Amino acid sequence: MKKILLIGQNGQVSTYLQGVLPADSLQVANREILDLSKVDQVQESLAALAPDLIINPAAYTAVDLAESETELAYAINRDAVAEIAQYAARHQVPLIHFSTDYVFPGDADKPYKETDVPGPTGVYGASKLAGEKAVLESGAPALILRTAWVYSNHGKNFYRTMLSLAESRDELSVVADQIGAPTYAGSIAEATKRLVDIILEQGGLRKEQSGIYHFTCAGQTSWCEFARAIFVENEVTNVTVNPIATADYPTPAKRPAFSVLDGNKLKSVFGIALPHWGTALAQCAAESKSL
Ligand SMILES: NC(=O)C1=CN([C@@H]2O[C@H](COP(=O)(O)OP(=O)(O)OC[C@H]3O[C@@H](n4cnc5c(N)ncnc54)[C@H](OP(=O)(O)O)[C@@H]3O)[C@@H](O)[C@H]2O)C=CC1
Ligand SMILES: Cc1cn([C@H]2C[C@H](O)[C@@H](COP(=O)(O)OP(=O)(O)O[C@H]3O[C@@H](C)C(=O)[C@@H](O)[C@H]3O)O2)c(=O)[nH]c1=O
Ligand SMILES: [Mg+2]
């Protein structure tokens, strides 16, 4: 039986992965078992766990706070990732690592490909890009899955923020000039499970398969239109969503204006495509009714 190590217990992607991966081969490392802010202890913890496959959806994800907690963001998103990747390289253990659309500057007018040059607008994106670089430089057999705008019925995310604001407000203002692809954590988990199955069937990851993959739901929208769609799917009718410009919603971190990712590489190498964001949103809303 192959041991799959999943890093982080309560994160959105981790929660949904725990729902689809085989429980008998899964080891979930919470912060007590593996604290990524304690970078010098990562190797030792991994050696004790002795995994056959590592999945790392753990990260410092507070985009605005990262502008002031810069050191912690880099420790978790770059330095700890470098340690994990070096372990994976030394032991030739396949690594599935997650990254973000926020590695891109956002000045494109067509979906970004894996070969496009990144250029983050804030500390979070810069720290995640540094993590990607550490994985690539380690030489580990690794998939770096760049996802975006992740939401679900668990944890902290835009979907839940909108539904909770709707309980106390009849009007919301949401930016309409940032374009991306909302991605349901359940869709990420299903596609990741298929990659895990392929890796286990193959007995590892081939060198030519290693690298960066864009990994979001299909289609594109703005945060404003996404908010409206969330309310439609959840039959919330008491709220008006007003479109505003980014300049009218000041935040510590600058976000990319356009961060749609082209998913063709994932399709051509692995035959996998995530659903359209609207289809996935309906699944998420259906799930919340059954919770
Ligand atoms: N959320 C989003 O919108 C997006 C996320 N991504 C990327 O996708 C991946 C998954 O994101 P998501 O599931 O939303 O993340 P969440 O913010 O939901 O969860 C973060 C996870 O990281 C863990 N973590 C944070 N700090 C530490 C630490 N010091 N030691 C150990 N674990 C730690 C948390 O631990 P605990 O369980 O203890 O809370 C939690 O499991 C990340 O790599 C993220 O950068 C990419 C694009 C969009
Ligand atoms: C709550 C709220 C947000 N906004 C804006 C702020 C921001 O530009 C946009 C989204 O806000 P959030 O803070 O939820 O999103 P943000 O934290 O920027 O989400 C990002 O998280 C990281 C981890 C990623 O990797 C990215 O892909 C992306 O998902 O909506 C409004 O305009 N009105 C509102 O009422
Ligand atoms: Mg946020």
Query: Is the distance from CB of 199 to CB of 93 less than 8 angstroms?
Result: no
Of 250, 246, 171, 182, give the one whose Cα is nearest residue 216: 182
Query: Is the distance from CB of 134 to CB of 166 less than 8 angstroms?
Result: no
> Which pLDDT does position 290 carry in this prediction?
79
For residue 158, report the distance from its CA to the centre of ligand 2, in Å: 6
Of 246, 205, 203, give the one whose Cα is nearest residue 224: 246
Query: pLDDT, tens digit, for every residue of 156-174?
Result: 999 999 999 999 999 999 9
> Which pLDDT does position 291 carry in this prediction?
73
| Interface predicted TM-score of the whole assembly (ipTM), two decimals | 0.98
Per-domain residue ranges for the chain?
4-153+184-218+259-274
Q: Which atom of ligand 2 is nearest to the CA of 172?
A: 35
100 CB within 6 A, ligand 2: yes
Q: For residue 288, which amino acid is it? A: S
**Yes or no: is domain 4-153+184-218+259-274 CATH 3.40.50.720?**
yes
Q: What is the mean pLDDT of residues 23-51?
A: 97
For residue 286, report the distance from its CA to the centre of ligand 3, in Å: 23
For residue 220, report the distance from its CA to the centre of ligand 2, in Å: 15
Q: Give the chain's largest Cα–Cα span.
A: 56
Query: pLDDT, tens digit, for every residue of 45-79?
Result: 999 999 999 999 999 999 999 999 999 999 999 99
- pLDDT bucket at 34, cuts 50 / 70 / 90: very high
Q: What is the mean pLDDT of residues 221-238?
A: 97
Q: Which of 6, 61, 127, 149 best tests ligand 1's pocket when mutated (most atoms within 8 Å of CB)?
A: 61
Q: Active-site residues: which are they?
A: 124
For residue 102, report the distance from its CA to the centre of ligand 2, in Å: 11
Query: Is the distance from CB of 262 to CB of 112 less than 8 angstroms?
Result: yes
Percent of the chain clearing pLDDT 70 (strictly above): 100
- Residues near ligand 1 with C-beta < 6 Å? 8-14, 30-31, 34-37, 57-61, 76, 98, 100, 128, 147-150, 155
